[in-house]
A and B are shown apart, each in its own frame.
Chain A
């Protein structure tokens, strides 16, 4: 069964450093998302991406964040200068369509980011 994959599973970085989180969405999906979950809290939307551009972004997704689809398979989230409060689990998700009401999103296993 096709699945979303993410690398690395864990990332430890120093405050102020840049990190790139990588995702390979399901191959025939067209819509891509990043969410994050601070330990013990709810899953929060960061950004959605379609047709090589951002469709929607949250207040969390400030100028320090960027997304890219560098080739036909990868989808990346870059944090330019990490802060302590960026420590969280970051989930990538993808969906086949966004037509009408139905939109099942498939989530990857996550990257746990720890900022020291």
Chain B
């Protein structure tokens, strides 16, 4: 089976950098995705790592290390609008494209 663990809450101040970690136990997956969700709304895709290493998309970066069963989302130059829940997710092969989500990390950005 698959399980993903994330911290439940993270707090940071505007302009800071924050890292949200995701550790997983899985028998295999295509890649690690990150989704953002504001106030229970639609999860929106942020980033995807198929291979080990760092992927950068503007203020957001994501990292994957398969050997360490670990990934993280890095948010730079935090803004108030970044306050949201962040979910890591994996997609197991040959299972109809389903995503398995972590429990989510609620990020609070303070002024």
Task: Mark B87-111 against chain A: 1 for CB-CB distance below 8 A, else 0.
Answer: 1010100011111111110000000
Residues in chain B near residue A91, CB distance under 8 A: 42-43
With an 8 Å Cβ cutoff, the count of chain B residues facing the other chain is 26
Cβ contact within 8 Å between A43 and B43:
yes
Q: State the Cβ distance, B69 to closest chain A Cβ, in Å.
A: 17
Cβ contact within 8 Å between A42 and B101:
yes
Cβ contact within 8 Å between A43 and B87:
yes
A-contacting residues, B30-89, CB 8 Å:
30-31, 33, 35, 37, 40-45, 48, 50, 87, 89
- Determine the main DSSP class of B at the interface with A: loop
Given contacts A42-B101, A45-B98, A56-B98, is CB(A101)–CB(B41) below 8 Å?
no
Any B CB within 8 A of the CB of A31: yes
A33 to B101, CA, bound (A): 14
Instruction: Give 18 CB contacts A-B under 8 Å.
Output: A31-B97, A35-B99, A39-B40, A42-B102, A42-B104, A55-B96, A56-B97, A95-B97, A100-B30, A101-B91, A102-B31, A103-B30, A105-B97, A105-B99, A107-B35, A107-B44, A108-B42, A109-B42
**B-contacting residues of A (Cβ < 8 Å)?**
4, 31, 33, 35, 37, 39, 41-45, 48, 50, 54-58, 89, 91, 95, 98, 100-110
